[in-house]
Structure 1
Amino acid sequence: MSFGLPPSALAWRAKVRRFVDEELIPHEVEAEMSGGELAPALLQRHEALAIGLGLARMDAPRRHGGLELPLIDQVAAAEQIGRVTNALGWCYPEAQSWMFEACDAGQIERFVLPMMRGERHFCYAITEEFAGSDVSEIATTATPDGDDVLISGEKWHVTSENLADVILVQARIGGDGGQALFFVEKGAPGIAVKRSPAYSHTYRHHHPILAFDRVRVPQANLIGPRDAGMTFAYAWFRRERLMIAARCCGAMERLVEETAAFARARRVGGEALIDKQLIAAMLADSLVDLQAARLITYEAAAAHDAGLDLKTLHARCSIAKLFASEAAGRVADRCVQVFGGRGYMRENVAERFWRELRVDRIWEGASEIQRLIIANALAKRGVDGTIGGT
């Protein structure tokens, strides 16, 4: 690759690709046709293999048993996870570096380290009906009550709630104070699934609407300072936006590979479909989208490893997510078209990616929010201060 990934990133890329191609991809159609579900023993195997590879501790500090990998290595690994549909790549928990900065020793021991070992599983309850991409509008409250807080509110799109035992809840302290994050045990009294909508994709990870009715949570479960919830949310958003971009690159790579192979084999009027100029043009455009998205994403990861200013990194993650997610949508749409009627069948990889990739332009900040972040950075810091000079 022209970017010149370091040997460590290439090694991670190779071993995660083997895992994805040999262990996960063969089960895509089975998962698609069974509501995302696979045999429990197989799901346990996937998690154990992923944890054994080190995927759960890539971002964790070495002092806590993590690998503390450069972000470019993590992006190379995440890109390969993006090659598989049906969220089969979501087979491992992930301990993120911000957790070790925000949590105290007791919280790390009770929540974070068990998650890293696959003993606990988290879900994030941040979004609300009227607070989506702009999480500053969150209305859920955490009212102090002695040594506890009482959390009340409603959270939407709580991804993986059905598979989690710990909920990270973002709430406003005292109703009008700063925002804070809390560890909340899923079984706490007062938590109810209000509704679990069906979504376009076929995942075993559900995204229900949760109601919190004066849920009693120890103040010891407060993550970091009382008003630091947005700080941690932004750290999580930066990382996840970059990882979404990486996974979109993996999806595009798989789509281009599968579609080109089909177009080489399919004969139309005695010629290979790939030799038809309009088909060739769609494949060429898709390869350009993939290469551009990769370079933007890798460069953003390298900027993190170089220790650039956080505000600059925030904009670069937005650039990567915006471009890669929209490029992936274009590629999936073209590939469905090249496959023709086959591309509209759920057993076809292009059809599944066509549905699944659509959400990447919405969650962790919609494309419109990414454009505002990028434009704001440009207005404040200029071109060089946003994307760097030549």
Structure 2
Amino acid sequence: MNQFALTEEQNALVDRVRRIAEEELAALSESGTPGRINRPLIKALGAHGLLSTLFGGEDAGRKAAAMDLCLLRETLAAVNTEAETALALQGLGSYPFLLFGSDDVVARWRPQVAAGDAVAAFALSEAGAGSDAGALELRAEPDGDGWTLHGEKCWISNGPEADVYSVFARTTEGARARGITAFVVPGDSPGLSGESLDMISPHPIGRVVFDGVRVGQADVLGEVDRGFTVAMRTLDLFRPSVGAFALGMAQAALDEAVAHTTTRSAFGGVLADQQAVSHKLADMALRLEASRLLVYSAASAYDAGAPAAEITRRSAMAKLDATETAQFVVDAAVQLVGARALQRGHLLEHLYRDVRAPRIYEGASEVQRTIIGRSLTRPAR
């Protein structure tokens, strides 16, 4: 973990989280069932106060500092990716109602999610609306003083086992992003069902079906037809932290590559004596450090209250660069370590599987480039 520009309190947070991850969370993750929610792991995250930190602490307002969120995710990812993902999904699934929900909604769900008693999910993607979130087809049909939800969500992390969902549905036809409303939906709502999908993932990812699920005015997050803003503001906070997750994996891979190449005998010395190897390690370290600075910069801009357009641009840059860098670093580490890195159970084999998905979710790399490009060209017009 790079200590550049971190405060004494932030360094203490990093040290505490790493210790908890090494001493307890790693073992809990290994005892879980792949493809199912690991509730003991999530409960431990709550018991150690990590989920409260994610939400700004017990006595704080409705959100945490973006920098603290990034430090949490990077530190956990360097030790145990399952624990990192469990924490991150609690935040992603609950931040829409934490930021935009009524006081009653926050009072009901925040303590349960922070304690690890309720599992949250972010339900935006659909089979026909992944990168193009404005194409959502899940319908919210008027029903008295509320709506009924009809349709499906797909590739939903923690679905269909979550206890509470932040759901984005179409309330105005033909309006694309301007006709979407966000709702908070309990997981035991009548008409809510689903199935698990067989994905390369240790946590559940599923299809969630809404067959006349009833929601009322009190369940609306933000304003009617303004749900796209709810989703984007949530992603502005979480995209840099996806980059932080990627940094943690990349750092673990680099550390493994250095340890191997400085101890493996070859050609009359050790592998690291070979210029091709030492230069590859240098490139890995260089890109990792540059990405870390982008992530920290985006988090700092969010915490400083920068204009929304700047936050969006910086978040996209951080997520794009860090996830692409992590893919490069992990792949390079596998190449340097060789065949043993692909043995089932090896750290790099695990990272090689886990590092791919962050380049897709919460906006694929191509979407991030579009966001960055538009931020440059729109003002010029």
Normalised TM-score (structure 2): 0.89
Partner SS, residue 123 of structure 1: strand
- CA deviations over 1:167-220 (Å, ceiling 9, x no partner): 221101154562111122222232232x4321123x0x2111222222222332
Aligned residues: 373
Matched, 1:35 2:42: no
Amino acid at match of 1:12: L
Structure 2 residue 191 is matched with structure 1 residue 166: no
C-alpha separation in 1, matches of 2:169 and 2:120: 17
For 1:237-276, what aligned pairs fall within 5 Å after superposition?
237-276=235-274
Task: Report the aligned-residue RMSD.
Answer: 2.5
Range 318-327 or range 304-313, more displaced: 304-313
Aligned to 1:186: 187
Q: Distance in 1 between matches of 2:62 and 2:186?
A: 28
1:356 is aligned to 2:357: no
Gaps of 5+ in 2: none
Q: Is the contact made by 2:97 and 2:166 (CA closer than 8 Å) also made in structure 1?
A: no
- The offset of 1:84, in angstroms, is 3.7
**Contact 1:192/1:212 (<8 A) preserved:** yes
Structure 1 position 161, deviation (Å): 1.6
Deviations 1:266-285 (A, max 9, x none): 11233212222222222111
Contact 2:149 2:214 in 1 (8 A): yes
- Shift of the 364–67 alpha-carbon distance from structure 1 to 2, 3 Å rule, reads closer
TM alignment of 1:1-390, pairs within 5 A: 1=2, 3-25=4-26, 35=34, 44=40, 46-60=41-55, 69-92=64-87, 93-94=90-91, 99-176=97-174, 178-193=179-194, 195-201=195-201, 203=202, 205-381=203-379
- Counterparts of 1:76 and 1:274, CA distance in 2: 30
| Overall identity of the aligned pairs, in % | 29
Paired amino acid for 1:189:
P
- Given that residues 17 and 76 in structure 2 are in contact (C-alpha distance below 8 angstroms), is that contact kept between their aligned partners in structure 1? yes
From the superposition, tell whether residues 2 and 379 of structure 1 become closer, same or farther in structure 2 (CA, over 3 Å): farther
- Higher deviation after alignment, 260-269 or 149-158: 260-269
Inter-CA distance 142–97: structure 2 relative to 1 (3 Å threshold): closer
The offset of 1:71, in angstroms, is 2.4
Structure 1 letter corresponding to 2:364: A
Kept in 1: contact 2:97–2:184 (CA 8 A): no
Residues in 2 aligned to 1:90 and 1:174: alpha-carbon distance in whole angstroms:
34
One-letter amino acid of the counterpart of residue 197, structure 2? P
8 Å Cα contact 2:29/2:82 also seen in 1 = no
Query: Is the Cα contact below 8 Å between 1:85 and 1:356 reproduced in 2?
Result: no
State the shift of 1:289 in Å: 1.5
Q: CA deviation at 1:57?
A: 2.4
For 2:120 and 2:180, the matched residues in 1 are separated by 19
Structure 1 unmatched runs, 5+: 383-390
In the alignment, what sits opposite 1:386? Answer: none
Cα separation, partners in 2 of 1:64 and 1:153, compared to 1, 3 Å: farther
Contact 1:150/1:215 (<8 A) preserved: yes
> What secondary structure is seen at the aligned counterpart in 1 of 2:84?
coil
Q: 2:246·2:326 contact (CA, 8 Å) conserved in 1?
A: yes
**Distance change >3 Å, CA 67–CA 219, structure 1 → 2:** closer
Contact 2:164 2:184 in 1 (8 A): yes
Instruction: Return the offset for 1:66.
Output: 5.7
